[in-house]
Amino acid sequence: MTETSDFPFFDSKSNNRLIVEIFTKLKDYWTAKGDTYRIRAYVNAIDLITHLSFDLTTTKRVNDLRGIGAKSKKKIKDIISTGKLEEWEKLSKMPMPTPKPEDKKTISIKEFTSLDGVGVVIANNWYDTGYREVDDVPLEICTTAQKIAIKYYHEKAGRIPRPEIAKLEKELKDWTENINIVNKTTPDNPAVKFEVCGSYRRRTPDSGDIDVMVTHRFSNNKVIMDYLVQCPIITDTLAKGDKKFRGYCILPSNGKVMKHRRIDIELVTPIQYPYALLYFTGSKNHNILMRDKARGKGWKLNEKGMHELTTNTPIIVKTEREIFDLLNVPYKEPWER
């Protein structure tokens, strides 16, 4: 049984908690059966309900939930109305199925598509050619991005511990601070500022990769991007433009064996910056809830900004907190989202 403290908006009698508990049991059941469609549906619903800031006391608000399908909504309504779900009542009386092992092709395709620059089509071509593992793929048939991804494949396995990202963040901060020093800017009005977003900003213990959001007061994005990717932690480039960079980075070894990590850098304007921070921090369902609030006011919200739907008039803010205030949503720190 999940402890109440895991869900800060739940109490022991809330519908939200009951929905999550039943859906979690169903997710576990269908995971054992290997039904990826049902697994995904329940994972999405659990994530959405967990992050709601209100309890679903009646069925009226269920139709307004975004990011889940009609079948999930009907099950939520049934739970709210009856306190149970007939599907689980039946399945709970049956033995838990033995997990179905993945077939060899599925394992190979999953391994191949974990590489940058490899989609399902290429992965299937490799498999049909006779390759079964990443190490089987000859480099001469690969693009530059694929070669780099293969080079670091074994290092990239596993997630990045939070303390390691903090050290990489400091290296990047020291590098960008040189621009502010040269331009003699003040800490409250820097020429360049950045934030590591995603799950790191939400204070999770680890992350899959490193997402960096940068804004600056100069007219030339290319000059800034060229300088940023010269930071000593950057080792390889998968793709680079004036506004976006995808590549690999690594901490100075200092006698220790370090791993190469995936890093994405994106440049946005100062006007876009608060909206980009909100979007790229996540979580996915928190973003959905914020967009729904904006839509209810006749506005459109995305990572580039917010504007009125009828007049297309942009709504300018200076901070993330102002977005919450405009939408009449109590402010949540990144780690509460």
End-to-end CA distance of the chain: 23
**pLDDT for the residue 173:** 94
**pLDDT for the residue 13:** 62
Q: Is residue 98 part of a domain?
A: no
- In whole angstroms, what is the distance from residue 262 CA to residue 236 CA? 9
Are residues 278 and 321 both part of a single domain?
yes
**pLDDT for the residue 48:** 86
Paired tokens of 70: 């009609």
Are residues 49 and 144 both part of a single domain?
no
Are residues 229 and 135 both part of a single domain?
no
Are residues 166 and 264 both part of a single domain?
yes
CATH of the domain at 209: 3.30.460.10
Q: Is residue 259 part of a domain?
A: yes
Are residues 188 and 254 both part of a single domain?
yes
Q: Is residue 242 part of a domain?
A: yes
Q: Is residue 20 part of a domain?
A: yes
**pLDDT for the residue 6:** 40
Q: Is residue 97 part of a domain?
A: no
CATH of the domain at 146: 1.10.150.20
**DSSP conformation class of 143:** -
Are residues 147 and 178 both part of a single domain?
no
Q: Is residue 184 part of a domain?
A: yes
CATH of the domain at 301: 3.30.210.10
Q: Is residue 96 part of a domain?
A: no
- In whole angstroms, what is the distance from residue 154 CA to residue 162 CA? 20
What's the total number of domains in the chain?
Answer: 4
For the chain, list the strands marked E by DSSP: 160-161, 192-196, 206-207, 210-216, 234-240, 244-249, 261-268, 299-302, 305-308
Are residues 283 and 311 both part of a single domain?
yes
Q: Is residue 193 part of a domain?
A: yes
CATH of the domain at 76: 1.10.150.110
Are residues 123 and 199 both part of a single domain?
no
**pLDDT for the residue 207:** 93
DSSP-derived pairing of the beta strands 299-302 and 305-308: antiparallel
For residue 176, the Cα-to-chain-centroid distance in whole angstroms is 25
Q: Which of 46, 62, 91 is the last residue of a domain?
A: 91
Are residues 259 and 165 both part of a single domain?
yes
Are residues 178 and 257 both part of a single domain?
yes
Q: pLDDT tens across 280-313, in order?
A: 999 888 898 899 889 889 999 999 999 999 999 9
Q: pLDDT tens across 78-95, in order?
A: 999 999 999 999 999 988
Domain assignment of residue 169, given as a range: 160-268
Are residues 25 and 42 both part of a single domain?
yes
Verdict on whether the full-model pTM lies above 0.85: no
Tell me the average confidence (pLDDT) per consecutive run of 10 residues in the chain, 337 residues long: 39 79 93 86 89 82 88 95 93 83 86 92 96 96 95 85 96 93 86 95 93 94 96 95 96 84 96 97 88 91 95 95 95 92
Q: Which of 247, 268, 289 is the last residue of a domain?
A: 268
Are residues 192 and 291 both part of a single domain?
no
